[in-house]
Amino acid sequence: MRRTGQESAIGTGALALLATFCLPGAARAAEHITLANGFDLVCHHHQIVDGKVRIYLKPSQPDYFELNPDEIAGYETVPDPIEAQPEPVASVAHPAATPVPKPISPDAHLTAEDLHQLLSKTSAEHHLDEDLLASVVKAESGGYARAVSRAGARGLMQLMPGTARQLGVQDSFAPEQNVQGGTAYLDALLTRYHDNIPLALAAYNAGPEAVDRYRGVPPYRETQAYVARVILEFNRRVIARRNAARVTSALAANRAASREFGRTMATSGNAGTGSD
């Protein structure tokens, strides 16, 4: 596939980040988290576990995702959001009601399987590497479908409202629409910059006008850090994918050798039982 498994390197400048961390109690008000890249998240609470910051979207322990401490600029406790009251349950006297299938919820952090299904389909349509898209999503939103940046970018791939309109995205918080639009935009940028991944990523972050003006990755610390972060994650995924392929190939070779050895031993045994 086009643009599959490409590895790049880019110099990274030190990114001065300010973060304050505290271990929350079992129950507390909601938290507003400011990320170092300028995005904002609202969650139930956070915890620091094994050097990682766990972001809990709901009180239940399994519903969380992890960030590195240096990816968070600060926390702020905010009043608990008012929960919507459930709709009255339909009377049993109306059995003809048909349940409506639910799409992927835009209010939750997508599971790895949810994200894989979205990205595998879209990457195949645009002939892009799924790991590249996954790396962009991780850098842009951390997989949180309702992420909103200070500049107003929204959703998994952080589309600005004007860009979303141009791409035909009606709801940037809908995971399917956002990924379709973001992938189409990244595909167009890769075509524009002749499959140069750093330039396409820089244009995705700072706009193609800035890349054209500086004839390369703009000298913006945020953009340079963004490009480096995506490429490092992409390279990590590519290496992991290759290692997994080697292990699978080795296991297959061992199984084939074992079968061949078994057939050889069976043949030898049959030959040895012949009558004199």
Give percent above pLDDT 90 in the chain: 45
Distance CA 250, CA 255 (A): 9
For residue 104, the model assigns a pLDDT of: 57
> In the numeric block, which tokens belong to residue 134?
């996954």
Beta bridge partners of 36: none
Mean pLDDT, residues 69-76: 83
H or E element, residue 66: strand 64-67
Flag whether pLDDT at 98 surpasses 90: no
Q: Is 233 a catalytic residue?
A: no
pTM for this model (two decimals): 0.57
Flag whether pLDDT at 95 surpasses 50: no
> In the numeric block, which tokens belong to residue 43?
């969650």
Active site residue: 31, 71, 130, 140, which one? 140
Quick one: pLDDT band at residue 44, thresholds 50, 70, 90? Answer: confident
Burial class (CB in 10 A: 0-12, 13-18, 19+), 24: middle
Highest mean pLDDT range out of 160-174, 241-255, 258-272? 160-174
Give all domains of the chain, ordered by start, each with its CATH number: 30-78 (2.30.30), 112-232 (1.10.530.10)
Flag whether pLDDT at 164 surpasses 80: yes
For residue 107, the model assigns a pLDDT of: 53
> What does the pLDDT look like over 130-145, one tens digit per residue?
999 999 999 999 999 9
For residue 43, the model assigns a pLDDT of: 72
Residue with more model confidence, 59 or 52: 52
For residue 214, the model assigns a pLDDT of: 95
Flag whether pLDDT at 237 surpasses 90: yes
Distance CA 72, CA 81 (A): 22
H or E element, residue 47: strand 45-49
Give percent above pLDDT 70 in the chain: 69
Distance CA 30, CA 41 (A): 10
- With vertex at residue 66, the alpha carbon angle to CA 230 and CA 76, rounded to the nearest 5 degrees, is 105
Q: Position of tokens 């009255």?
A: 88
Number of Cβ within 10 Å of residue 21's Cβ equals 12
Quick one: pLDDT band at residue 58, thresholds 50, 70, 90? Answer: low
Measure CA of the first residue to CA of the last residue in the chain; give whole Å.
61
Q: What are phi and psi of 65, to 5 degrees?
A: -135, 165
Q: Where are the alpha helices (DSSP H) in the chain?
A: 112-126, 130-141, 161-166, 175-192, 197-206, 208-214, 221-272
Closest-CA residue to 108 (of 72, 66, 65):
65
